[in-house]
Structure 1
Amino acid sequence: MSHVGVGPRALTRSVAFLTAGALAVPVLAGCSSDDPAGAPLAGPDTAAAARARVADGGTLRWAADSVPDTLNVFQSDADATTTRVAQAVLPSLFRLDATGRPVRNPDYLESAEVVGTEPKQVVLYRLNQQAVWSDGREIGAADFAAQWRALSGRESAYWTARNAGYDRIEKIERGKNDLEVKVTFKRPYADWRSLFTPLYPKDVMGTPDAFNDGARRKLAVTAGPFAVQKVDREDDEVVLGRNPRWWGAPPKLSRIELRVVPRGKRIAALTAGKLDLAEIDAETAREVGRAGAPAGTDPLGARGTAPLAGPERGQGRSAADALRSWAVAHGSDEEAAYEETLARAERREALAKAERRRAALRGFEVRKSLEPAYTQLALNGADGPLADERVRRAVARAVDREELAEAVLGPLGLPAEPLGSHLALAGQDAYADGSGALGDPDVKEARALLADAGWVPGGPLEKGTEKKGEEAAGAEEESGQGTTAAESDSPGGDDGTYIVGEDEKNPGGEDAEGSGGDVERADGKSPGDTGSDEKREGEPRGERNKAQGGAPGAYAPKGTAAPAGAAAAPLARKGKPLTLRFVLPSGPGSGTLRTVAGRIGAMLERIGIRTDITKVSDESYFRDHIASGDYDLALYSWPGTAYPATDARPIYAKPVPAADGSLNVEQNYTRVGTDQVDQLFDQALGTLDEKEARALLRKADSRIWAAAGSLPLYQRPQLTAARANLANAGAFGFATPVYEDMGFLKKGAQGGQRSASPSA
């Protein structure tokens, strides 16, 4: 399960992430080498093909996570499928390109520009004269006005999820003719391009009843290349068909079926031929890639990973095993021969089944990119040790973001660059690496910050604290509900952990384990380096160590000091240990988060901070812990956005007391904010000078880094299994899909152009 924020412009960012897709649009020129925005780390991988090479007709069966509860993206229970439907059936005045920048959509707009700033900002939209709703009525000012009134926040009868931007509009008027719409703002609004995408008809927006209920189960009036034909909750699918009144380039596909298939069951659906396109996890991606990859290669192009094994010989059996099996099956011992014959038959069937599975998957390929979303480490500054900025900064300085990015993205063959901004992704206008305001990872500096805050190694603990901690750890281990940072989920395994014997404890009384990285033995070799000990290869590790003078299970001779990077003595202050509660989801799709958390826990141990990892159900993770502030450390994701002044402000706004005495945090779940950051956001939102707005946002990002409430780690991987002859669809990356261009290649047409790297 992903724990991320809402991606579409229409919704408040929350934990239900909605994918903002992209088509293979050329990267905009102008990202010069001295531009801090740079270029996207990975481009779309959609098998881009010219429309002339795509066949007319066909049905695209596309895996979805759910049948949406509403088709109105401006309601709080909208989800990823809501957005996917809206992109295909409703007007988008601006779409995002491959760099995450908004570009005018010519199917709806002839032009859109600021035509006045004094005394007030005025934007003039000139509509495509062919643009009509599916009932034949022209798209016009009445639709704009209805959407503004519904989303302005002035009428509480509308159950809206947000009103950002719409609350700045003063009036909407018809221009010189029906094709012109003039929007006048009360206050300057830099992100005006974010508005009216998607645009709903006045039939949906015109009254509270229509807004609240009219578009939840159906959309009778649309204006996109496709129209909603069916929303079937019994069959778990949404069906889109061609819109006969569409005036743009005709859709290549006849139908798009959004089929609900849980992520854990998508490999089976692909194998059974029930899907053509599906977002998948890394394990599934490897299986799909292996089906068509040459033997002994890694289909994902991973760096620094061992090559995959070659063709199976009897499910991993060697030639000697196969010969021995044949001999037993044909030997004189009838009982043994009978049992071996049955076993050989079972193995043949298993191999045949595996080959059929591979054969079925050879028609698919893995398309990969980076999602327009990033994973962050959240530090709850509301109370406890992390309320002290020095402790937050120490935690942040102890975390090696490069190591975490490499651990997650490197095995997938994706660019493993840590993210340098809270407000934008590499390649977007507002992007600049602001991490210098915090500083590079530095264990010494982190320890100094903690010492300044009064946390000292081996400080006296309150009576009974140690015993209670041991009992709690034991109970968590027994129940499986809680773990430590050095648990088996933590990456590194035996070869990356320093283990001491029973009588080898560090000064703090804890096992010196869990550095998460390679450590040296006393002889200067790494733990996995056998050196002259090759003759001991078959011995258990503990026996080899014991023979070298170490305690069973130790990597180094007894008495060797813990290497640099090993756990430091636990810190304490005023009789209480420095232990942070690290809350994580427990679902099967959260393995990566738990792996990252294990590495972070090991990094924090190096500066004397212990982490108490608590796994909770996916259902309660965000609602009962992140949103309510019941955590110290947590991992979740936010989407990138083309409009950070609007979308990112509630995430980093300083919490303020509400009328009922509670704290209004908006979406700032770390509870860390400053007046200066708020002012910089307001200034960026109110200027129409794009260069000035970028500078203000980058300055705000530096202040966010310095406050150390959250630590951006890496852009999330995006892996998609696509039928090999499917063009213009796959791992979309930043931008909005062009649904009318998706389709299957004509017979004899070469495969579409694929690239997961941005053009220069």
Structure 2
Amino acid sequence: MPSARSAMRAIPNSSTTTATLSPAITWIGTHWSSVDGRFDSRPQRRDIQKKRKHMNRRTTALAAVAVLSVAGLALAGCAQPNAKPTNGAGETEAPQLPLVGWTDVPASNLEQGGTLSLAVLSSGTDEGNWNIATSLGANVEVVNMQAPIMGTPYKATKDGAVEPDPNYATSIELTSDDPQTVDVKLNDKAVWEDGTPLTANDYEATFAALSGKNDKFDIASSAGFDKVASFDVKSDYEFSFTFSSPYADWQALLTQPAVPADIAKDPAKWGGYTTKPLPSSGPYVMSKIDNNAKVYTETPNPKWWGDAPKLDKITWTVIDQGSQAQAFANNEINAVDNVQDVDTYTAALKKSGAKALNSGGLTYSQVTFNGLQAPLDDANVRKAVAQAIDRELISKTANSPLGVEATTNGNWIYMPGQKGYTDTVGEKLPYDLDAAKKLLTDAGWANADGKWTKDGTELKLSVIVPQGTKSNELRAQQIQSSLKKIDIDVTLDEVPSADYFTNIQNGKYEMATFSWQGTLFPVSSTESLFYPAQKPGGNGQNFAFVSDDRLGDLWTQANAELDPEKRLKITQQINEVIADYMPMLPFYPSPNISIVDSNLANYGPSTFMGWASDWTKVGFTK
């Protein structure tokens, strides 16, 4: 299970899904990409890495912005901002999208052989590195196309948990809570593509490189690895590691693929894979690289020790997003993944034998309130605004045209379908116009002649909108329409897209609607969104700028609590505290959508497992 470490990314176009969990990949931290507002919760080691990382994501996001502008216009035709609200006296329980978009087909029902042709938006060569643990290689597209050639001790399950992958680990055990120690027994059959054993020494060197202790190593994140106090190689196929302090997301470290020790010990080698991947440890190997034509071919790994792959070949071709539907129609590729706009969706489905698959995703749209700007510096005003926004209508407008049932997200830590998810928003602050008005009255505002006033000041608000981002503008219009129903006028403050996140970071806004991307390990990665409070223009990701002192102790407890059930109780308390001061209102999870050939099996979108749970089982039906 290769790792892209726990990621939350932010996007003004929340309907994009470029950085959803990649095949068997997880991220451990929070990072943001500025073009379409998607934020990753992946803390970066160095500012220069963070800036370059943003540039990586922009390559993907720029394409998304263009298609999403089209999508926004089409969606507006489906449901205008002043459309009838779903329910003025409380939201109904929202449906959930499937966790997995495909139906498992037994290997015995698949053809032996065939070529699977897929598209990506860029390669490791384009991004500057194929090593996904580097700041340049930690890119969704780079991770996606290497999923069949990598593996890790832990793999994701369909419900967002992790379990040992027997191809790589026969046992993973938390052997001590104090000090926190993890013991790992490796599969002694695992080898690199040249037949060299994959051993504990490889993991030891990889952990050391990712610890951040040697600045010569270019790494995307040291999260978790920097808390490892000692690493003990017990034998070639067993190791243990001990943390300096309790770290609840310890499993995330074992979703990072090992790098051969001779590479992981040398910063130059570590960062030197600029035109080809590192050695394979998966069921496939990268057998042909054409950087000029941007076509990359993977074939079965002759040294693979697990179940034999069904396919003869997997090809990845770099194709821009706007051209993928036509490539699919021309039988150049077997799937169009990350479908984000109505035009692509309808064009791809016209192909004979095509079918649409969808699942939930880890990206969710929301609106953030600037808690330092009056009148939003009053928590009751923020809660009133939250209860007056019709989240169900916003979700329907964005998702229904793509053939996906509209859902809402009501949790600040977990995504729908993830263990621990509860609809805290629906329980504490449901859509209720009368309740919203009462909150304003309790806050000292009076309504006369259709206007709210307090101490001679009229209650007016604004939403910052990046120019040319239609889906973002549509969400802002729907916020505007919702609040008009309780006599709050909202203006749209349109700014150049290049200034959008600069203004947000500097506190030059009142409300902002963009998206965050969740992770398999969401507790530690979401803390920075809410705690501590921060000053505009400072470092951090708390763009509401306010917090609640109770969160500090609660997050400290949650990050150190090793008992899963006790931890869930703490995270529920965190959610309730956030609801109490309302810095941000989550709207809906963006779905993952693929259009695939009907005979393609065991491949498609999923909420947590990426595009395939087992690449040896991907193939074509008989």
Give the TM-score, by structure 1 length: 0.65
Higher deviation after alignment, 123-132 or 600-609: 600-609
Contact 2:30 2:39 in 1 (8 A): no
In 2, Cα distance between equivalents of 1:433 and 1:290: 34
Q: Does 1:700 align with 2:578?
A: no
Following superposition, the deviation at residue 197 of structure 1 comes to: 1.8
Farther-moved stretch of structure 1 (708-717 vs 275-284): 275-284
Q: Which of 605, 615, 621 in structure 1 is aligned with 2:484?
A: 605
Deviations 1:21-71 (A, max 9, x none): xxxxxxxxxxxxxxxx99964131224211122223322221222224132
5 Å-filtered alignment, 1:735-754, equals 735-736=609-610, 737-746=612-621, 749=622
Residue equivalent to 2:105: 49
In the alignment, is the contact (CA less than 8 A) between 1:11 and 1:76 conserved in 2? no
Contact kept in structure 1, 2:95 and 2:406, CA below 8 Å: no
Which residue of 2 is the match for residue 13 of structure 1? 30
Hey, what does 2:154 align to over in structure 1? 94
Shift of 1:242: 2.6
1:447 aligns with 2:447: no
**Residue type of the partner of 1:113?**
E
* 1:386 aligned counterpart, secondary structure: coil
Aligned to 2:531: 653
The offset of 1:246, in angstroms, is: 1.6
Deviation string for 1:322-377 (max 9, x for gaps)?
Answer: xxxxxxxxxxxxxxxxxxxxxxxxxxxxxxxxxxxxxxx01311112222322222
Deviation, 1:637, is 2.2
Q: 2:55 aligns to what?
A: none
Q: What fraction of aligned residue pairs are identical, expressed as a percent?
A: 26
Cα displacement (A) at 1:649: 1.9
Match of 1:257 among 315, 330, 341: 315
* SS at structure 2 position matched to 1:195: helix
* Cα separation, 2, equivalents of 1:160 and 1:572: 52
Q: 1:444 to 1:743 in 2, by over 3 A?
A: closer
AA at the equivalent of 2:122: S
Amino acid at match of 1:101: A
Letter matched to residue 96 of structure 1? A
Deviation at 1:131, TM superposition (A): 0.8
Aligned: 1:63 with 2:111: no
Q: Cα distance, 1:603 vs. partner?
A: 0.6
Choose from 159, 164, 186 the match for 2:244.
186
Separation in 2 of the partners of 1:276 and 1:174?
A: 44
Please, which of 559, 582, 593 is the counterpart of residue 685 of structure 1? Answer: 559
1:662-677 correspondence to structure 2 within 5 Å: 663-665=538-540, 667-677=541-551
Q: One-letter code of the match for 2:118?
A: W
Count of equivalent residues: 542
Question: Using a 3 Å threshold, how does the CA distance of structure 1 residues 235 and 604 change in structure 2: closer, same or farther?
Answer: farther
Counterpart selection for 1:578 from 444, 460, 470? 460
Is it true that 1:403 corresponds to 2:393 in the alignment?
yes
For 1:625 and 1:261, the matched residues in 2 are separated by 33
- Can you give the 5+ residue segments of structure 1 that lack an aligned partner in the other structure? 20-36, 292-360, 459-506, 508-567, 750-760
Correspondence 1:472-491 to 2 at 5 A: none
Out of 601, 604, 607, the residue aligned to residue 730 of structure 1 is 604
| CA separation of 1:236 and 1:18: change in aligned 2, threshold 3 A | farther
The residue number in structure 1 matching 2:473 is: 594
TM-score, structure 2 length as denominator? 0.79
Which of 212, 227, 235 lines up with 1:168 in the alignment? 227
Is the aligned partner of 1:144 residue 2:203? yes
- Contact 1:4–1:15, Cα closer than 8 Å, also in 2: no
Instruction: Name 2:176's counterpart in structure 1.
Output: 116
> Structure 1 residues 601 and 234, CA, compared in 2 at 3 Å: closer, same or farther?
farther
Amino acid in the other structure paired with 1:250? A
Shift of residue 738 of structure 1? 3.3
CA deviation after TM superposition for structure 1 residue 570, in Å: 6.4
1:437 deviates by 6.6
1:214 is paired with a residue whose SS is coil
Larger radius of gyration between Structure 1 and Structure 2: 1
Give the distance between the partners of 2:497 and 2:108, measured in 1 at CA. Answer: 45
Name which of 241, 264, 275 aligns with 1:205: 264
Secondary structure in 1 matching 2:551: helix
| Structure 2 match to 1:635 | 513
Q: How many Å separate the matches in 1 of 2:571 and 2:483?
A: 30
Distance of 1:218 and 1:719 partners within structure 2: 29
Secondary structure (helix, strand or coil) at the match of 1:599 reads helix
What SS is found at the alignment partner of 1:164?
coil
Contact in 2 for aligned 1:111/1:126 (Cα 8 Å): yes
Q: In structure 1, what is the Cα distance between the partners aligned to 2:542 and 2:288? A: 38
SS in 2 for 1:711: strand
Indicate the residue corresponding to 1:542 in structure 2.
Answer: none
Shift of residue 285, structure 1, vs aligned partner: 6.3
Alpha-carbon offset, residue 287 of structure 1: 2.5
1:675-716 residue CA offsets vs partner (Å, 9 max, x unmatched) = 322321221121221110111111112212222111111121
Q: Which runs of structure 2 are paired with 1:230-379 in the superposition (5 Å)? A: 232-279=290-337, 280-284=339-343, 287=346, 291=350, 361-379=351-369
Distance 2:614 2:247 in 1: 30
- Which runs of 5 or more structure 2 residues have no equivalent in the other structure? 1-12, 41-92
Contact 1:11 1:73 in 2 (8 A): no
SS where residue 663 of structure 1 aligns?
coil
**Aligned mates of 2:603, 2:544 — CA distance in 1:** 36
Letter aligned with residue 580 of structure 2 = A
8 A Cα contact 1:12 1:161, kept in partner: no
Separation of aligned partners in 1, 2:206 and 2:499: 34
Query: Quick check: 2:464–2:495 contact (8 Å CA) kept in 1?
Result: no
In the alignment, the residues of structure 2 paired with residue 716 and residue 272 of structure 1 have an alpha-carbon distance, to the nearest angstrom, of 28
> Taking structure 1 as reference, are residues 455 and 38 closer, same or farther at Cα in structure 2, changes over 3 Å only?
closer
Distance 1:266 1:18, change over 3 A: farther
Q: Are the counterparts in 2 of residues 626 and 634 from structure 1 also a CA contact under 8 Å? A: yes
Distance 1:616 1:245, change over 3 A: farther
Q: Which residue does the alignment assign to 1:416?
A: 406
